């Protein structure tokens, strides 16, 4: 079949007609927290793979992971890893993506990259399929998967924004360990167990004690502005995904001792008065969202209920009384960082590639 991806492949890329109806798929970082979920998502969603290649560091080479009842042997990532690969899902950090995504594109693959390496590049679409799938029409071989907070937040913001353009956003996040990888999740488990035994625990992955504590996000701090790298990413990426390059956004990102689902308080200012009832109606039918907004039972989005769910939970929809004009609403949102914040969104992007093949 002929390849119709509307992608402008680099002129030196091999002229190999990939069959994206049953592609050869590679996962880079298969052993990581997101990598494991990429495998699960491909399997759970019956993604039509001709074959699946699992790539990680030399530390994991030779180990096996199960996919559709079969043991697949993990290979060490290297310059020849992408021969014959049609779609490469990258989740091994920015350094690995910067080095190997161009190698994969050169070999003829389309890369869906979970790192921040290419997210702000003009020729790399930054995609949340429920929000801006149309941006995938043109790319040069790489499609970026957004920062987890940006992905989860924009699923909840987009239905409101389409009806009433957002003028300003203020956010506070409550972010899980999974965003810092499998080792951080393990540190949360171990430090909690040590705490409960009354023993000391020296943090190795995160900069501060995690059990029964919370702290400002561990991304690098810009001392001049006072905003850390995570906050800067969320601002820039939310603007890009919503198509609002000048949207004023204030944000505080906090790491909380939760394993895998992020929560966030969003205060959203519109150009006109939007009632909580209208917002609820807009959000109730929106793709990728589930309304959890039961004032009578004080039941609102929680990480424990968002964990393992494809849908982002949204609730606590109310007027922000800090804005007497009535133009600002407050929402509370929770979404699985490893799913909609990472693996699920990447697989949904890959599904869109198949549809267009």
- Residues marked active site are found at 148, 262
Q: Does 40 bind ligand A2P (CB under 6 A)?
A: no
Out of 3, 133, 182, 265, the residue judged to bind ligand A2P by CB under 6 A: 182
Residue nearest to ligand A2P (CB): 32
Nearer to ligand A2P, 59 or 121 (CB): 59
Q: Which stretch of DSSP H or E encloses residue 330?
A: strand 328-336
Cα 159 from Cα 146, distance rounded (Å): 18
Out of 87, 92, 136, 312, the residue judged to bind ligand A2P by CB under 6 A: 92
CA dist list (Å): 9 to 105, 106, 136: 8, 8, 14
Out of 51, 84, 102, 181, the residue judged to bind ligand A2P by CB under 6 A: 181
Cα 34 from Cα 40, distance rounded (Å): 10
Q: Does 60 bind ligand A2P (CB under 6 A)?
A: yes
On whether the CB atoms of residues 239 and 231 are closer than 8 A, the answer is no
Q: Angle at CA 181, nearest 5°, toward 117 and 84?
A: 55
**Other Cβ atoms closer than 10 A to 349:** 23
Among 259, 256, 267, which Cα is nearest to 339's?
A: 259
Nearer to ligand A2P, 30 or 169 (CB): 30
Please check if 62 is assigned to a binding site: no
The DSSP output letter for 297 is T
Out of 23, 32, 146, 341, the residue judged to bind ligand A2P by CB under 6 A: 32
Q: Does 35 bind ligand A2P (CB under 6 A)?
A: yes
Q: How many residues bind ligand A2P (CB under 6 A)?
A: 17
**Other Cβ atoms closer than 10 A to 242:** 22
Out of 44, 137, 183, 196, the residue judged to bind ligand A2P by CB under 6 A: 183
Cα 186 from Cα 198, distance rounded (Å): 18
Q: Which part of the chain contacts ligand A2P (CB under 6 A), choosing from 114-122, 142-150, 178-186, 233-241? A: 178-186
Least Å distance, CB 327 to ligand A2P, is 40
Please check if 179 is assigned to a binding site: yes
Cα 179 from Cα 169, distance rounded (Å): 22
Please check if 178 is assigned to a binding site: yes
Out of 7, 9, 18, 33, the residue judged to bind ligand A2P by CB under 6 A: 33
Q: Does 59 bind ligand A2P (CB under 6 A)?
A: yes
Cα 79 from Cα 277, distance rounded (Å): 55
The residue behind tokens 């929560």 is 263
Please check if 63 is assigned to a binding site: no
The structure tokens listed for 33 are: 């927290």
Cα 23 from Cα 25, distance rounded (Å): 6
Least Å distance, CB 59 to ligand A2P, is 4
Nearer to ligand A2P, 39 or 92 (CB): 92
Least Å distance, CB 114 to ligand A2P, is 9
Least Å distance, CB 190 to ligand A2P, is 15
**H helix count then E strand count, the chain:** 9, 17
Q: Does 96 bind ligand A2P (CB under 6 A)?
A: yes
Residues that bind ligand A2P (CB under 6 A): 29-33, 35, 56-57, 59-60, 77, 92-93, 96, 181-183
């Amino acid at each position: 079949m002929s390849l119709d991806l509307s992608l402008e492949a680099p002129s030196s890329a091999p002229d190999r007609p990939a069959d994206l109806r049953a592609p050869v798929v590679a996962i880079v970082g298969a052993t990581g927290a997101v990598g494991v979920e990429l495998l699960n998502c491909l399997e759970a969603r019956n993604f039509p793979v001709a074959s699946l290649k699992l790539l990680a560091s030399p530390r994991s080479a030779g180990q096996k992971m199960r996919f559709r009842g079969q043991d697949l042997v993990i290979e060490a990532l290297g310059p020849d890893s992408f021969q014959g690969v049609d779609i490469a899902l990258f989740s091994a950090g920015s350094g690995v993506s910067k080095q190997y995504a161009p190698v994969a594109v050169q070999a003829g693959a389309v890369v869906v990259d979970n790192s921040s390496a290419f997210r702000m590049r003009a020729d790399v679409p930054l995609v949340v399929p429920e929000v801006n799938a149309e941006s995938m029409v043109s790319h040069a071989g790489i499609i970026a998967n957004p920062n987890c907070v940006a992905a989860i937040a924009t699923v909840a913001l987009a239905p409101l924004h389409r009806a009433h353009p957002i003028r300003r956003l203020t956010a506070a996040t409550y972010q899980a360990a999974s965003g810092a990888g499998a080792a951080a999740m393990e540190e949360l488990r171990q430090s909690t167990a040590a705490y409960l035994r009354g023993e000391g625990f020296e943090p190795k992955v995160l900069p501060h004690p995690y059990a029964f504590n919370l702290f400002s996000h561990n991304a690098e701090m810009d001392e001049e502005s006072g905003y850390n790298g995570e906050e800067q990413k969320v601002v820039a990426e939310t603007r890009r995904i919503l198509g609002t390059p000048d949207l004023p956004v204030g944000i505080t990102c906090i790491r909380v001792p939760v394993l895998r689902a992020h929560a966030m308080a969003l205060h959203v200012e519109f150009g006109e008065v939007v009632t909580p009832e209208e917002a609820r109606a807009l959000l109730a039918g929106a793709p990728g969202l589930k309304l959890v907004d039961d004032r009578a039972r004080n039941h609102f989005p929680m990480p424990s209920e968002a964990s393992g769910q494809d849908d982002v939970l949204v609730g606590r929809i109310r007027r922000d009384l800090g804005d007497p004009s009535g133009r600002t609403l407050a929402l509370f949102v929770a979404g699985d960082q490893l799913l909609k914040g990472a693996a699920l969104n990447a697989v949904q992007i890959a599904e869109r590639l198949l549809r267009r093949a």
